[in-house]
Structure 1
Amino acid sequence: MTTWNDADLTSIGEAEELDLESERGDGTLRDPVTMWVVRAGDRLYVRSVKGIDGPWYRGTCSRHRGRVTAGGVRADVTFHDADPGEYADVDAAYRAKYGRYTSIVEHVLTEQARASTLRLEPR
């Protein structure tokens, strides 16, 4: 596993939103999708409100690679399914960062959304 350097981890983790481009089977990148990103410990995570049926999530499954842009950082990444043991920390990070959006944040805390939790690792 490759780890984030402190500057990129902080910049991406503090960014309000992240643009994610997943890699197609032929190696080209899909159009960017804007989403929330959270930091839990020294790791970065994203989730699909629609769970594993979400179009952008399904796009990450073809090669488990892509690119993210947030907080002035542009990085090539791999997408890893988070372990269910990570969900509680990710839930807490979503509540802490986006809790002011009360009616929206609950959508990323459902079992459906949890199942799509991806850990972003630099490559």
Structure 2
Amino acid sequence: MPSSAVIYHNPRCSTSRKTLELLRGNAIEPTVIEYLKTPPSRAEIAKLIADAGIDVRTAVRKRESLYGELNLAEASDDELLDAMAANPILIERPFVVTGKGTRLARPIDAVHDIL
């Protein structure tokens, strides 16, 4: 069991809240980063995505109205990273980091791999 974990959390998101409950249910009290209040840098976002083994487009909230407003459907990975760094609401959530790896908790079950 990892001694430490970090969750990039949005308390208004049910998936994020359930993931936090899962961690705590496994006796893990993570460092909670409310990424809308304390946004990660572009480099940190890129590292989370790479470490999670997903592509940049998977890490973008496509249902967010801003996604359409910024015409991101045809954007390059670099443009998406720039948009997420400038507008953290576009970052899909929650990302969880433990000593065993990084996962985007969509679905939440993906987190079990790194507990």
TM-score normalised to the size of structure 1? 0.32
Higher strand share: 1
Higher helix share: 2
